[in-house]
Chain A
Amino acid sequence: MKKQKHWYDYLWVWTAVYFALGFFNILFAWLGMIDFLLPLGFAVFGGNKWFCNHLCGRGQLCMKLGGDLKCSRNRPTPSWMYSKWFRYGFLIFFLVMFGNVVFQTWLVGSGAASLREAVKLFWTFRVPWGWAYTAGAVPDWAAQFSFGFYSLMLTSLLIGLIVMALFKPRTWCTFCPMGTMTQGICKLRRAGK
Protein backbone atom coordinates (compact mmCIF):
# COMPACT_ATOMS: atom_id res chain seq x y z
CA MET A 1 0.00 0.00 0.00
CA LYS A 2 1.43 3.38 -1.03
CA LYS A 3 1.37 5.89 1.81
CA GLN A 4 -0.14 9.27 1.14
CA LYS A 5 2.52 11.97 0.95
CA HIS A 6 2.24 15.25 2.82
CA TRP A 7 4.09 18.52 2.32
CA TYR A 8 6.21 17.80 5.37
CA ASP A 9 7.50 14.56 3.88
CA TYR A 10 9.81 16.64 1.72
CA LEU A 11 11.52 18.56 4.50
CA TRP A 12 14.74 16.64 3.87
CA VAL A 13 15.15 19.12 1.00
CA TRP A 14 15.12 21.94 3.54
CA THR A 15 17.98 20.31 5.48
CA ALA A 16 20.07 19.97 2.32
CA VAL A 17 19.30 23.59 1.36
CA TYR A 18 20.15 24.83 4.86
CA PHE A 19 23.65 23.38 4.80
CA ALA A 20 24.19 24.55 1.22
CA LEU A 21 23.16 28.11 2.15
CA GLY A 22 25.60 28.11 5.07
CA PHE A 23 28.36 27.21 2.66
CA PHE A 24 27.77 30.40 0.69
CA ASN A 25 26.61 32.76 3.44
CA ILE A 26 27.16 31.81 7.05
CA LEU A 27 24.41 34.15 8.29
CA PHE A 28 21.84 31.61 7.09
CA ALA A 29 22.98 29.51 10.05
CA TRP A 30 20.53 31.51 12.16
CA LEU A 31 17.69 29.71 10.39
CA GLY A 32 18.81 26.56 12.22
CA MET A 33 17.29 28.04 15.38
CA ILE A 34 13.96 26.91 13.93
CA ASP A 35 15.13 23.32 14.45
CA PHE A 36 15.95 24.19 18.04
CA LEU A 37 12.84 26.08 18.99
CA LEU A 38 10.09 24.20 17.13
CA PRO A 39 10.67 20.78 18.79
CA LEU A 40 10.79 22.47 22.19
CA GLY A 41 7.58 24.33 21.40
CA PHE A 42 5.78 21.14 20.42
CA ALA A 43 7.02 19.33 23.53
CA VAL A 44 6.40 22.11 26.05
CA PHE A 45 3.07 23.38 24.75
CA GLY A 46 1.72 20.32 22.93
CA GLY A 47 3.27 17.48 24.93
CA ASN A 48 4.29 15.65 21.78
CA LYS A 49 7.20 14.93 19.47
CA TRP A 50 5.43 16.01 16.32
CA PHE A 51 8.57 17.71 15.12
CA CYS A 52 10.68 14.53 15.37
CA ASN A 53 7.89 12.40 13.94
CA HIS A 54 6.92 14.59 10.99
CA LEU A 55 9.05 17.69 10.53
CA CYS A 56 12.65 16.65 11.18
CA GLY A 57 14.45 17.14 7.88
CA ARG A 58 17.59 15.53 9.21
CA GLY A 59 15.78 12.31 10.12
CA GLN A 60 14.12 12.31 6.71
CA LEU A 61 17.46 12.90 4.99
CA CYS A 62 18.94 9.93 6.85
CA MET A 63 15.96 7.79 5.80
CA LYS A 64 16.36 8.98 2.22
CA LEU A 65 20.09 8.29 2.03
CA GLY A 66 20.19 5.23 4.27
CA GLY A 67 16.90 3.70 3.22
CA ASP A 68 15.95 4.70 -0.33
CA LEU A 69 19.52 5.14 -1.61
CA LYS A 70 20.84 2.22 0.46
CA CYS A 71 23.81 4.12 1.90
CA SER A 72 23.35 2.35 5.24
CA ARG A 73 24.69 -1.05 6.24
CA ASN A 74 21.43 -1.47 8.18
CA ARG A 75 23.17 -3.19 11.08
CA PRO A 76 21.72 -3.09 14.60
CA THR A 77 22.62 0.01 16.58
CA PRO A 78 24.95 -0.81 19.50
CA SER A 79 22.84 -0.90 22.65
CA TRP A 80 25.02 1.62 24.53
CA MET A 81 24.11 4.17 21.90
CA TYR A 82 20.47 4.21 22.99
CA SER A 83 21.13 3.66 26.68
CA LYS A 84 19.86 6.40 29.00
CA TRP A 85 23.38 7.17 30.21
CA PHE A 86 24.69 7.88 26.76
CA ARG A 87 21.59 9.72 25.58
CA TYR A 88 21.43 12.09 28.54
CA GLY A 89 25.22 12.35 28.70
CA PHE A 90 25.31 13.43 25.07
CA LEU A 91 22.46 15.86 25.69
CA ILE A 92 24.41 17.51 28.52
CA PHE A 93 27.58 17.61 26.42
CA PHE A 94 25.65 19.16 23.54
CA LEU A 95 24.05 21.79 25.77
CA VAL A 96 27.45 22.68 27.23
CA MET A 97 28.81 23.08 23.71
CA PHE A 98 25.83 25.26 22.78
CA GLY A 99 26.50 27.29 25.93
CA ASN A 100 30.07 27.71 24.71
CA VAL A 101 28.78 29.06 21.38
CA VAL A 102 26.66 31.59 23.26
CA PHE A 103 29.62 32.50 25.51
CA GLN A 104 31.90 33.08 22.51
CA THR A 105 29.17 35.24 20.99
CA TRP A 106 29.04 37.27 24.18
CA LEU A 107 32.85 37.65 24.26
CA VAL A 108 32.84 38.98 20.70
CA GLY A 109 29.88 41.24 21.42
CA SER A 110 31.59 42.74 24.45
CA GLY A 111 34.84 43.29 22.56
CA ALA A 112 36.81 40.80 24.68
CA ALA A 113 37.47 38.57 21.67
CA SER A 114 37.61 39.06 17.95
CA LEU A 115 35.48 37.37 15.32
CA ARG A 116 36.82 34.03 14.10
CA GLU A 117 35.73 33.32 10.55
CA ALA A 118 36.00 29.57 10.87
CA VAL A 119 33.84 26.52 11.38
CA LYS A 120 34.91 24.05 14.05
CA LEU A 121 34.14 20.43 13.21
CA PHE A 122 33.73 17.80 15.91
CA TRP A 123 34.54 20.56 18.44
CA THR A 124 38.19 20.12 17.46
CA PHE A 125 39.10 20.81 13.85
CA ARG A 126 39.06 24.44 12.78
CA VAL A 127 38.14 24.88 9.10
CA PRO A 128 38.56 28.35 7.54
CA TRP A 129 35.16 29.55 6.31
CA GLY A 130 35.87 33.20 5.56
CA TRP A 131 34.44 33.12 2.02
CA ALA A 132 30.95 32.77 3.48
CA TYR A 133 31.00 36.11 5.27
CA THR A 134 31.56 39.72 4.24
CA ALA A 135 33.13 41.63 7.14
CA GLY A 136 30.88 44.30 8.56
CA ALA A 137 27.66 42.97 7.02
CA VAL A 138 26.19 42.48 10.50
CA PRO A 139 27.50 43.12 14.03
CA ASP A 140 30.44 40.80 14.81
CA TRP A 141 28.54 38.98 17.56
CA ALA A 142 25.80 37.98 15.10
CA ALA A 143 28.40 36.61 12.70
CA GLN A 144 30.22 34.80 15.53
CA PHE A 145 27.01 33.07 16.56
CA SER A 146 26.47 32.01 12.94
CA PHE A 147 29.90 30.40 12.73
CA GLY A 148 29.50 28.68 16.09
CA PHE A 149 25.97 27.48 15.49
CA TYR A 150 26.73 26.26 11.98
CA SER A 151 29.68 24.32 13.44
CA LEU A 152 27.31 22.62 15.85
CA MET A 153 24.75 21.85 13.16
CA LEU A 154 27.32 20.57 10.66
CA THR A 155 29.09 18.43 13.25
CA SER A 156 25.83 16.82 14.33
CA LEU A 157 24.89 16.21 10.69
CA LEU A 158 28.22 14.51 10.05
CA ILE A 159 27.84 12.34 13.16
CA GLY A 160 24.32 11.48 11.98
CA LEU A 161 25.56 10.50 8.54
CA ILE A 162 28.41 8.40 9.95
CA VAL A 163 26.13 6.40 12.25
CA MET A 164 23.58 6.18 9.42
CA ALA A 165 26.20 4.53 7.21
CA LEU A 166 27.46 2.22 9.96
CA PHE A 167 24.18 1.21 11.55
CA LYS A 168 20.50 1.95 10.79
CA PRO A 169 19.38 4.98 8.77
CA ARG A 170 17.94 6.78 11.79
CA THR A 171 20.50 5.74 14.40
CA TRP A 172 21.20 9.44 15.03
CA CYS A 173 17.65 9.75 16.38
CA THR A 174 18.46 7.40 19.26
CA PHE A 175 20.82 9.97 20.81
CA CYS A 176 19.79 13.19 19.09
CA PRO A 177 19.94 15.84 21.84
CA MET A 178 16.70 17.50 20.72
CA GLY A 179 14.93 14.13 20.58
CA THR A 180 16.18 13.17 24.03
CA MET A 181 15.22 16.54 25.49
CA THR A 182 11.74 16.62 23.98
CA GLN A 183 11.01 13.00 24.98
CA GLY A 184 12.11 13.87 28.52
CA ILE A 185 9.78 16.88 28.55
CA CYS A 186 6.88 14.78 27.24
CA LYS A 187 7.48 12.11 29.88
CA LEU A 188 7.61 14.74 32.62
CA ARG A 189 4.37 16.26 31.38
CA ARG A 190 2.71 12.86 31.32
CA ALA A 191 3.98 11.98 34.79
CA GLY A 192 2.66 15.28 36.12
CA LYS A 193 -0.90 14.57 34.98
Chain B
Amino acid sequence: MASRRYARVDRTVCVACGACASVCPKGAAAVSHGCWAEIDPAACVGCGLCAKTCPAGCIALAERTDDR
Protein backbone atom coordinates (compact mmCIF):
# COMPACT_ATOMS: atom_id res chain seq x y z
CA MET B 1 0.00 0.00 0.00
CA ALA B 2 1.35 3.44 -0.89
CA SER B 3 2.29 5.82 1.91
CA ARG B 4 -0.14 8.66 2.63
CA ARG B 5 2.66 11.16 2.24
CA TYR B 6 5.19 11.84 -0.47
CA ALA B 7 8.12 14.24 -0.90
CA ARG B 8 7.90 17.28 -3.14
CA VAL B 9 10.75 19.50 -4.35
CA ASP B 10 10.60 23.26 -4.67
CA ARG B 11 12.43 23.63 -8.00
CA THR B 12 13.00 27.35 -7.55
CA VAL B 13 15.20 26.73 -4.51
CA CYS B 14 16.81 23.34 -5.29
CA VAL B 15 20.58 23.53 -5.90
CA ALA B 16 20.70 20.08 -7.54
CA CYS B 17 23.38 18.77 -5.20
CA GLY B 18 21.88 15.28 -5.18
CA ALA B 19 21.97 14.82 -1.40
CA CYS B 20 18.36 13.60 -1.51
CA ALA B 21 19.18 11.00 -4.15
CA SER B 22 22.15 9.76 -2.13
CA VAL B 23 19.98 8.98 0.90
CA CYS B 24 16.68 7.89 -0.65
CA PRO B 25 16.21 4.23 0.30
CA LYS B 26 13.87 3.63 -2.64
CA GLY B 27 15.85 5.38 -5.35
CA ALA B 28 12.87 7.65 -5.91
CA ALA B 29 14.92 10.85 -6.01
CA ALA B 30 17.13 11.89 -8.91
CA VAL B 31 18.59 15.10 -10.26
CA SER B 32 17.00 15.95 -13.57
CA HIS B 33 19.24 17.45 -16.29
CA GLY B 34 21.46 19.04 -13.63
CA CYS B 35 18.81 21.61 -12.87
CA TRP B 36 16.82 20.34 -9.90
CA ALA B 37 15.90 17.19 -8.04
CA GLU B 38 12.78 15.25 -8.88
CA ILE B 39 11.08 12.68 -6.70
CA ASP B 40 8.91 10.01 -8.24
CA PRO B 41 5.69 10.13 -6.21
CA ALA B 42 4.86 6.55 -7.18
CA ALA B 43 8.13 5.25 -5.71
CA CYS B 44 8.29 7.61 -2.73
CA VAL B 45 7.39 6.03 0.61
CA GLY B 46 7.22 9.36 2.43
CA CYS B 47 9.97 8.51 4.91
CA GLY B 48 11.19 12.12 4.91
CA LEU B 49 14.88 11.25 4.84
CA CYS B 50 15.44 13.44 1.78
CA ALA B 51 13.70 16.41 3.43
CA LYS B 52 15.85 15.95 6.51
CA THR B 53 19.04 15.79 4.45
CA CYS B 54 18.33 18.56 1.94
CA PRO B 55 20.70 21.45 2.75
CA ALA B 56 18.50 24.00 1.01
CA GLY B 57 15.35 22.90 2.78
CA CYS B 58 13.50 22.68 -0.50
CA ILE B 59 11.86 19.28 0.06
CA ALA B 60 8.60 19.02 1.93
CA LEU B 61 6.25 16.15 2.57
CA ALA B 62 2.78 16.52 1.17
CA GLU B 63 -0.38 14.53 1.70
CA ARG B 64 -1.38 12.37 -1.22
CA THR B 65 -4.53 13.22 -3.05
CA ASP B 66 -6.43 10.53 -4.94
CA ASP B 67 -4.53 11.01 -8.18
CA ARG B 68 -1.06 10.91 -6.55
Contacts and interface: CB of A to CB of B under 8 A. Distances in A.
B17 A187 contact: no
Given A1-B25, A49-B34, A179 B15 contact: yes
A172 B55 CA distance: 8
Interface secondary structure of B, over-half rule = loop
Contacts of B34: 42-43, 47-50, 182-183, 185-187
Contacts of B16: 49, 52-53, 179, 183, 186
Number of contact residues on A: which range applies? 35 or more
Interface string A155-178: 000000000000111111110100
A179 B34 CA distance: 10
B19 A173 contact: yes
A76 interface: yes
Nearest to B27: A3
**Majority-rule SS of A interface residues:** helix
A80 B21 CA distance: 24
A118 interface: no
Contacts, number: 87
A77 B58 CA distance: 11
B17 A53 contact: yes
27 contacts: A3-B27, A42-B34, A48-B31, A48-B33, A49-B17, A49-B34, A50-B34, A52-B31, A53-B16, A53-B17, A54-B18, A59-B17, A79-B57, A82-B56, A82-B57, A167-B55, A168-B53, A169-B53, A169-B55, A170-B53, A170-B55, A173-B15, A173-B55, A174-B15, A183-B15, A186-B34, A186-B35
Interface of B: 13, 15-19, 21-22, 25-27, 31, 33-35, 52-57
Interface of A: 1, 3, 42-43, 47-50, 52-54, 59, 63, 67, 74, 76-77, 79, 82, 87, 167-174, 176, 179-180, 182-183, 185-187, 189-190
